[in-house]
Amino acid sequence: MIGPSSSHTAGAVKLARVSALIAGKPFKHVDFGLHGSFAKTGTGHGTHLALLAGVLGITEEDERIKLSPDIAEERGITYAFHEVELDDVHENTAVITFDHHDGTSTQIVGCSVGGGRILITKINSVNVEVSAEQPTLIMQQLDKPGVIARISRVLAENNINIGLMRFSRVAKRDVATSVPETDQRIRPEVIDRLAALDDVLWVTVIQ
């Protein structure tokens, strides 16, 4: 672990690792916008190395955190860090933007809240709340009657209990995001069934 602060090290690694899982596909470049304490003291606490390590899939306990620049170079991944000023966010907030090989991009906003815990607050400008402390599905679907019921039915048929579900949408009958947290791990075949549902656009899981 680098530095004395779990927010700037363990939390930063987890925040970036979960962000990459949400992005869900390979990327060639990643941009880190650092706000508040992340921006002011991040270098001394190893935040830059921790964030880069996280997007590369390195875990909080891995000794390779300090080698993340070399690993990124080996994989042909470029990266940049800069300071951002955001309103009404936690002091340890990062805006992480992934540029994918297919020309698309994914932007994740999240924060390290202390004790190695994190909160993802935005996915591509859609407000969410993802703590990644329980198995969590992140699903984007069309905002139509019956879609959430079908999602819940698939989970129930596989003995997966929803502990908490959050839902947000850009506008009525537009694209919506559902975030069910479950009491059980979600098997690959269940993810495949969810992804095959009508009006479901994409599914990713964090567990």
- pLDDT tens by residue, 110-134: 999 988 899 999 999 888 999 999 9
Q: How confident is the model at residue 98 (pLDDT cuts 50, 70, 90)?
A: very high
Architecture of domain 136-206: 2-Layer Sandwich (3.30)
Residue with tokens 């020309």: 103
Q: How confident is the model at residue 161 (pLDDT cuts 50, 70, 90)?
A: very high
pLDDT at residue 2 greater than cutoff 90: no
pLDDT at residue 50 greater than cutoff 50: yes
More confident residue, 138 or 3: 138
Torsion of CA 30, 166, 11, 44, to 10 degrees: 60
pLDDT of residue 23: 94
pTM, rounded to two decimals: 0.86
pLDDT of residue 45: 59
Domains of the chain by residue range:
10-130, 136-206
Share of the chain above pLDDT 90, in %: 76
pLDDT at residue 4 greater than cutoff 50: no
Mean pLDDT over residues 169-174, rounded?
82
More confident residue, 40 or 186: 186
Strands 78-83 and 27-35: parallel
Q: How confident is the model at residue 145 (pLDDT cuts 50, 70, 90)?
A: very high
Report helix, strand or coil for 171: coil
As a whole number of angstroms, the distance between CA 149 and CA 36 comes to 40
Whether 168 contacts 126, CB under 8 Å: yes
Q: How confident is the model at residue 1 (pLDDT cuts 50, 70, 90)?
A: very low
pLDDT at residue 44 greater than cutoff 80: no
Burial class (CB in 10 A: 0-12, 13-18, 19+), 126: middle
Tokens read off for 60? 């909080």
DSSP code, position 26: -
Residue with tokens 């549902």: 197
Task: Transcribe 137-165 into DSSP letters.
Answer: EEEEEE--TTHHHHHHHHHHHTT--EEEE
As a whole number of angstroms, the distance between CA 153 and CA 194 comes to 10
| Assigned CATH class of 10-130 | alpha beta
**Average pLDDT along the chain:** 91
